[in-house]
Amino acid sequence: MVPFGGYSMPVQYSDLSVGESHHWTRQKASLFDVSHMVQYHISGPGAEGLLMKLTPAALPALPVHQSTLSAFLHPGTGGIVDDTVITRLGPELFYVVTNAGCRDKDAKFLTESVEAWQAQGYPSVVLTPLGGQGLIALQGPQAAGILGGVLEDPTAINLKEFYFGQSRYLQLHLPSGKGSEKVLVSRGGYTGEDGFEISIPPTQTVEITELLLNSAGSERLRLAGLGARDSLRLEAGMCLYGHDLDDTTTPVEGGLSWVIGKDRRTEGGFNGAETIIPQLTPRSKGGKGVTRRRVGLVVEGAPAREGAEIVDTDGTSIGRVTSGCPSPTLKKNVAMGYVKDGKHKSGTELAVVVRGKRRKATVTKMPFVPSKYCKAGAPPA
In this structure, the answer to whether residues 119 and 43 fall within a common structural domain is yes
Cα torsion at 342, 333, 330, 25 (round to 10°)?
Answer: -110
In this structure, the answer to whether residues 17 and 146 fall within a common structural domain is yes
Domain assignment of residue 120, yes or no: yes
Given 129, 152, 170, the domain boundary residue is 129
In this structure, the answer to whether residues 54 and 124 fall within a common structural domain is yes
Domain assignment of residue 278, yes or no: no
Q: Name, in order, each residue with C-beta under 8 angstroms of 230's C-beta and a sequence gap of 6 or more.
A: 240, 323, 325
Given 171, 199, 224, the domain boundary residue is 224
In this structure, the answer to whether residues 52 and 184 fall within a common structural domain is no
In this structure, the answer to whether residues 77 and 207 fall within a common structural domain is no
In this structure, the answer to whether residues 163 and 174 fall within a common structural domain is yes
In this structure, the answer to whether residues 164 and 186 fall within a common structural domain is yes
Query: What residue spans of the chain are helical by DSSP H?
Result: 18-27, 47-54, 103-119, 143-148, 205-216, 226-235, 264-267, 273-279
How would you list the strands of the sheet with 126-129, edge to edge? 66-73, 80-90, 93-98, 38-43, 126-129
Q: Is residue 51 predicted with pLDDT exceeding 70?
A: yes
- What's the CATH number where 121 sits? 3.30.70.1400
- Cα separations (Å) of 98 from 73, 101, 118, 142? 13, 9, 22, 27
- Average the pLDDT over 245-271 and give the result: 98
CA distance 261 to 250: 15
Q: What is the pLDDT of residue 324?
A: 98
Q: Is residue 378 predicted with pLDDT exceeding 80?
A: no
In this structure, the answer to whether residues 147 and 177 fall within a common structural domain is yes
| Length of the chain as a residue count | 381
Domain assignment of residue 69, yes or no: yes
Domain assignment of residue 236, yes or no: no
Q: For 94-126, how does the pLDDT look when each residue is reduced to its tens digit (9 = 90+)?
A: 999 999 999 999 999 999 999 999 999 999 999
Q: For 204-244, how does the pLDDT look when each residue is reduced to its tens digit (9 = 90+)?
A: 999 999 999 999 999 999 999 999 999 999 999 999 999 99
* Residue 87, domain extent: 38-129
Q: What is the pLDDT of residue 192?
A: 98
Q: What is the pLDDT of residue 376?
A: 87
Q: Is 256 left (phi over 0), alpha (psi -120 to 50) or beta?
A: alpha
CA distance 199 to 185: 7
Neighbours of 128 (CB within 10 A): 11
197 is in an annotated binding site: yes
> Over the range 243-261, which residues count as b (16 or more CB within 10 Å of their CB) and which as e?
bbbeeebbbbbbbbbebbb
CA distance 183 to 144: 16
Phi, psi of 283 (to 5 degrees): -60, -30
- Cα separations (Å) of 124 from 45, 116, 233? 6, 11, 37
- Cα separations (Å) of 249 from 73, 82, 191, 241, 290? 10, 10, 23, 10, 11
- Domain tally, the chain: 2
In this structure, the answer to whether residues 44 and 57 fall within a common structural domain is yes
Would you tell me the crossing angle of helices 226-235 and 18-27 to the nearest 10 degrees?
60
Strands (DSSP E) contained in the chain are 2-4, 7-9, 29-33, 38-43, 66-73, 80-90, 93-98, 126-129, 134-139, 167-170, 183-187, 195-200, 221-224, 292-299, 309-311, 317-327, 332-340, 349-354, 357-364
Domain assignment of residue 193, yes or no: yes
Domain assignment of residue 138, yes or no: yes
Residue 95, beta-bridge partner list: 41, 87
- What's the CATH number where 206 sits? 3.30.1360.120
Given 188, 205, 224, the domain boundary residue is 224
In this structure, the answer to whether residues 78 and 17 fall within a common structural domain is no
Q: Is 257 left (phi over 0), alpha (psi -120 to 50) or beta?
A: alpha
Residue 367, beta-bridge partner list: none
CA distance 249 to 289: 13
Of 223, 230, 185, give the one whose Cα is nearest residue 206: 223
In this structure, the answer to whether residues 218 and 197 fall within a common structural domain is yes
Domain assignment of residue 280, yes or no: no
- Average the pLDDT over 46-59 and give the result: 98
Q: What is the mean pLDDT of the chain?
A: 97
Phi, psi of 341 (to 5 degrees): -55, 135
Q: For 285-337, how does the pLDDT look when each residue is reduced to its tens digit (9 = 90+)?
A: 999 999 999 999 999 999 999 999 999 999 999 999 999 999 999 999 999 99
In this structure, the answer to whether residues 46 and 25 fall within a common structural domain is no
Neighbours of 156 (CB within 10 A): 11
Domain assignment of residue 109, yes or no: yes
CA distance 233 to 156: 31
